[in-house]
Amino acid sequence: MRPCVTVGVDGTDASHDALDWAADEAWLRRLPLHVVHAWPGEAQDAPIAPGARSAADVGEEALEAARAQVLMRHPDLEVATRLADRAAREALLDAAADTDLLVVGARGSGGFPRLLVGSTALHVAANASCPVVVVHGSGYQEAAGGVLVGVHGRDAEEEVLSFAFRAADSRQLPLEALHAWSYPLVSGPGHAFPPVYEAAHVAAEQSRLLAEVLAGWSERHPGVPLSETAVRSSPARELVALSETRQLLVVGRHGTPRGPLRRLGSVSQAVVQHAQCPVAVVPVTVVPVAET
């Protein structure tokens, strides 16, 4: 399949925001945009009231409206639409296998009014085989800051940094790499007091670690102004706070395939739920360490 950007729509305000973001991204990448609307289908013999529209008709109308919205924004963009006779999360995960990037709105048509992020967005961000962008509103377009990337610092960051630098480069925005750290929880027999840490030494070591992870990236992307921040804090807290002034936040998916959210770790889950700007969740390939 040709490279493309894919977005899921359901007619909600959140999906309109996601559609705009996806259209802009497809235009920046010079890729076609695929628009997917999912519906669970109807029983073959299910009666339809006279004058009522079927779910398929409503879906087709939603796709036509989405196409018109995209072409108003980018008249020359190649747009394809697809009505999927499946549940939304299944249809979007199927689409993830054949796209470069999957975009969803933070909220769907179901759920509670005060719900921050819908279950479909969380499920897709946790399980998709490609990077997923969860779009929170449209206020990010007026944000003064650039792109923010959370750096884990221990595992390989190639996929995450590549996505972040590319996003900053295409938008002509600065990039800030944030590494948040805390003292390890160490205790001895009988929960003895932890060792005394030399704060300046640990902070310097964490800054050195961040510099090592970022080494060589500015040479690959000389047009991207890069700032490095290593701070003693909770990663989720820092990233969410900074997201208020950023146009995009990029995090890696480092979680393990356990629990209801499977591969979405605690930091990426918190960021997807509470960030104030679009969040890109990038799967990280962890290479197993060979036993000696």
Average pLDDT of the chain? Answer: 84
DSSP string, 209-225: HHHHHHTTHHHH-TTS-
- Tell me the C-alpha distance between 126 and 133, whole Å: 11
Position 184 pLDDT exceeds 50: yes
Position 292 pLDDT exceeds 50: no
Q: Nearest to residue 132, comparing CAs of 25, 244, 12?
A: 25
For the record, the structure tokens of 279 come out as 């969040």
Q: Nearest to residue 63, comparing CAs of 101, 97, 91?
A: 91
- Tell me the C-alpha distance between 13 and 117, whole Å: 13
- Tell me the C-alpha distance between 217 and 3, whole Å: 24
DSSP E strands in the chain: the ranges are 5-8, 33-38, 79-84, 101-105, 132-135, 147-150, 175-181, 226-232, 248-253, 279-283
pLDDT confidence of residue 44: 42
Q: Burial code of 138-165, b = ≥16 C-beta within 10 A, e = fewer?
A: eebeebebbbbbbbbbeeebebbbbbbb
Q: List pLDDT tens digits, range 80-101.
A: 999 998 889 999 999 999 999 9
Say if strands 147-150 and 248-253 run parallel, antiparallel, or are unpaired: parallel
Q: List pLDDT tens digits, range 45-62.
A: 455 555 556 667 888 999
Q: What size, in residues, is the chain?
A: 292
* % of the chain residues with pLDDT over 90: 59
Per-residue confidence at 261, pLDDT binned at 50, 70, 90?
very low
Position 103 pLDDT exceeds 80: yes
Per-residue confidence at 178, pLDDT binned at 50, 70, 90?
very high
* 133 in Cβ contact with 140 (< 8 Å): no
pLDDT confidence of residue 116: 53
